[in-house]
Structure 1
Amino acid sequence: MKAVPALLLALFLTACAGVPKPPPGLGDNQAIVAPKTVLTIPPPSAAGRSVELAQSIVAKFYGRSYALDMQIAIGADRLDLVAMDGFGRRAMTVAWKDGAPSIEKAEWLPPVFRPADILASFVIAYWPDDVVATAIKDPAVQVVTKDGVRRISRAGKDLITVTYGPGEGWNRSAVLKNEAFGYEIAIQSAEN
């Protein structure tokens, strides 16, 4: 059961990018994905189907690169994720069952790494447009995927773009660029 999320990498990037600390009252299931833009993590069933994946992720921010290998399994009422660094150390484990995520983070991860940020990047890259739009809950934000590119924009300005490689659904590469916070995540993804 190998898996995915570009999420942990987003956390690395979020920490490095100097993204503002979460405001008081931000829930454990919410992430700031752009200035004044909050995404509430939808339940695993919103993914649209069950899937097991393996992913390799490389994130880039101001000349720094971070690499992770992930395993993820999504079912109608569960999400299981394991993220490992290049040394084989477990960085994070997420088990989402019974309506709430249970998260274990490695002590060596900086405290600003929020699991919700990791999960938000995963949702942005791979879940259906309508699910992403509903999760953002901002009528000014548009989510459109066309010709292999997903754009999340406000007032005609891209906040986040995801460019997909050949293939369909989860079984393809993706490059997520967060224009608002200045980082990029390259994802190689394959279903098991």
Structure 2
Amino acid sequence: MMRRVAFPVLLVLLLAGCATTPPPVSPEEAARPMIAPKQMLTLPRPADLGRSVQAVQLITFRRDDQTLVFEGHLSITPERLLLVGIDSLGRRTMTLTWTETGLTAEAAPWLPPAVRPGSMLADIVLLYWPAAAIRASLPPGGELIESSNRRQIVLDGNTILDIRYGFDIGRRWSGRLRYANFSWGYEIEVQSEESGP
């Protein structure tokens, strides 16, 4: 039986939509990798991750009194990142594909119009890409503070992301991480199981 998988990106899209209910945006605007209001990440390449990954994830999103749980599949190769999300009813909620040529997203009609694929992708990069790639991608005034199991993204002296890993950064994605985005006002818990050697 095929296992269903979850991904942080779909969650992040919903998070961004739930944070302040911004007005609907164009597809071009939604594809911008925003990490905070008016703060854009310059995306590295999928290959900059430094390896290929296939991961099954269970994502739990919390904001105020809301809790959302998603399943999904995250596949990363040097050529592309593919994210497929499944809701609790087994319906496909989103397919996100990122290559060096850009980002494409297909979303189910029931997702909020404020869901932003670009912000979801930006969060995935900040969670998993190597420190050097992240530092080169941050907007002016951005800083990455990292230890073996924690990352903080600081913009102009304010912490906007605080990520705590249940596994060492750079190792297999098997375990739990918790992550708070103070700019958009949500917390996420990701339980990952990386497949393959």
TM-score bin, normalised by smaller chain = 0.7 to 0.9
Q: Which amino acid aligns with 1:33?
A: I
Size of the alignment, in residue pairs? Answer: 191
- Calculate percent identity across the aligned residue pairs: 32
Check conservation: 1:2, 1:72, Cα contact below 8 A.
Answer: no
Q: 2:77 is matched with which residue: 75, 78, 83?
A: 75
Structure 1: gaps of 5 or more residues:
none
Summarize deviations over 1:136-180 as a string: whole Å, max 9, x none.
Answer: 232x11012114110101344311110101353422311110112
Check conservation: 1:61, 1:184, Cα contact below 8 A.
Answer: yes
- Aligned equivalent of 2:126: 124
Cα deviation for residue 124 of structure 1 reads 1.4
Cα deviation for residue 53 of structure 1 reads 0.5
TM (norm. structure 2) is 0.85
TM (norm. structure 1) is 0.87
- More displaced stretch, 156-165 vs 39-48: 39-48
Structure 2: gaps of 5 or more residues:
none
Q: Tell me, what secondary structure is at the counterpart of 1:40?
A: coil
Change (3 A) 1:165 1:141: same
Aligned pairs for 1:13-92 (under 5 A) are 13-18=15-20, 20=22, 29-92=31-94
Change (3 A) 1:4 1:42: farther
- Aligned equivalent of 2:176: 173
- Aligned equivalent of 1:106: 108
Check conservation: 1:82, 1:93, Cα contact below 8 A.
Answer: yes
Separation in 2 of the partners of 1:36 and 1:19? Answer: 16
Change (3 A) 1:111 1:25: closer
